[in-house]
């Protein structure tokens, strides 16, 4: 069946300007980090992407190494893009990244010009695209000069392979230096993709101010703390959860303390009082910072996307609500 996008797809979603740029992102974006690999159901992938777009999610975020295996998410996305979204390309923001291990040898990792140019060329081929809307350097390279990495991002824009460039996982000082180099090269720095959630607030310690000073924006990844800030863990660790799977990075049983689970229960109570799910509360909380243009969610099924998107229906907080959340998060 030929996919036809919902006519009302732009009526519910909120679109935020990224810093002082002309770029706008949906308040909720969809990342293809998990569940878009070679062993995942292609039908489910199509269903999630179609439903996301029908709900106003115009931004799909990838990276060269997303899978498994590495590259599979871009290949699957490229197939679905051609099949379902080709006529909607100009309505989409598609991003990809390079910076982690992708292929063997000295040129398949980190931030050299050789690696970044080759990687983006491969990503474009896998997705069947002439350009991406945003190309990120995925992580700082301690050995390659920052000037070389930023000059390569500048080159990608000048060659028309990317409309905008950004960085990810850079700390405040690294970001400040990268922004200065890009500014000197006259390729304005637009966006930083950073991990940010109620349980991971590192960007508040300097990075937010750097971005504000540069009139740039941020997109928050892992805003739901790998599913911890959802109703999944309200009664402990279910067997089918990410935390129960040893191969899933960033969240496992040893990271989930009794204290943290108690906080999840208290936050869920606050969410219920606001008429929201816990996930919706957590997404709204991340988006309370004006510098954060979008919250980047992951999903394994359509219903999760539908629940997350409803966060935009109630983004405002009273000072009392913020104080209550702060107390829960700070209590030992």
The model's confidence at residue 27, banded by pLDDT at 50, 70 and 90, is very high
Mean pLDDT of the chain: 95
Q: Comparing 310 with 243, which gets the higher pLDDT?
A: 310
Q: What is the pLDDT of residue 244?
A: 52
**pLDDT tens-digit map of 106-121:** 999 999 999 999 999 9
Mean per-residue pLDDT for 59-66?
A: 98
Express each pLDDT in 261-276 by its tens digit: 999 999 999 999 999 9
Query: pLDDT class for 247, splitting at 50, 70, 90?
Result: very low
CA gap 98, 101 in Å, rounded:
9
**Confidence band for 332, pLDDT divided at 50, 70 and 90:** confident
What count of Cα atoms within 13 Å lies in the side-chain half-sphere of residue 49?
31
Higher pLDDT: 181 or 251? It is 181
> How far is Cα 11 from Cα 20, in angstroms, rounded to an integer?
24
Q: What is the pLDDT of residue 99?
A: 98
CATH superfamily membership of 15-330: NADP-dependent oxidoreductase domain (3.20.20.100)
Average pLDDT of span 162-191: 97
Ordered by start, the domain boundaries in the chain are: 15-330
pLDDT at 318: 98
Q: What residues have CB less than 8 Å from 93, skipping those under 6 apart?
A: 23, 25, 29, 58, 59, 60, 133, 134
Output the DSSP codes for 34-97. SS-STTS-HHHHHHHHHHHHHTT--EEE--TT-TTTTTHHHHHHHHHIIIIIGGGGGG-EEEEE
Q: How confident is the model at residue 160 (pLDDT cuts 50, 70, 90)?
A: very high
Q: At what angle do helices 146-158 and 172-184 cross, to 10 degrees?
A: 50
């Amino acid at each position: 069946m030929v996919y036809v996008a919902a006519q009302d797809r732009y009526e519910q979603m909120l679109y935020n300007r990224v810093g002082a740029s002309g770029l706008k992102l949906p308040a909720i974006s969809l990342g293809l980090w998990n569940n878009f690999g070679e062993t995942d159901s292609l039908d489910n992938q199509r269903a999630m992407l179609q439903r996301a777009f029908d709900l106003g999610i115009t931004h799909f975020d990838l990276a060269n190494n997303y899978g498994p295996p590495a590259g599979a998410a871009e290949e699957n996305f490229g197939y679905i893009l051609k099949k379902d979204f080709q006529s909607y390309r100009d309505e989409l923001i598609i991003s990809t990244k390079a910076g982690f291990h992708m292929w063997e040898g000295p040129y398949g990792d980190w931030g050299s010009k050789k690696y970044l140019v080759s990687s983006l060329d491969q990503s474009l081929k896998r997705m069947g695209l002439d350009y991406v809307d945003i190309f990120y350097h995925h992580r700082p390279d301690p050995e390659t000069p920052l000037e070389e990495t930023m000059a390569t991002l500048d080159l990608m824009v000048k060659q028309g392979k990317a409309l905008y460039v950004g960085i990810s996982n850079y700390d405040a000082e690294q970001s400040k230096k990268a922004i200065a180099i890009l500014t000197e090269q006259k390729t304005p720095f637009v966006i930083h993709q950073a991990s940010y959630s109620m349980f991971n607030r590192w960007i508040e310690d300097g990075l937010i101010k750097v971005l504000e000073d540069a009139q740039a924006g941020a997109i928050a990844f892992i805003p739901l703390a790998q599913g911890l800030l959802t109703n999944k863990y309200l009664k402990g660790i279910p067997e089918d959860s990410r935390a129960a799977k040893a191969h899933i990075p960033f969240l496992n049983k040893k990271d989930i303390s009794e204290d943290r689970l108690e906080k999840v229960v208290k936050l869920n109570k606050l969410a219920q009082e606001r008429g929201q799910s816990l996930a919706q509360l957590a997404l709204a909380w991340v988006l309370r910072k004006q510098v954060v243009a979008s919250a980047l969610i992951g999903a394994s099924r359509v219903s999760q996307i539908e629940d997350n998107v409803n966060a935009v229906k109630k983004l405002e907080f009273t000072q009392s609500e913020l104080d209550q959340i702060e107390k829960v998060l700070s209590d030992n």
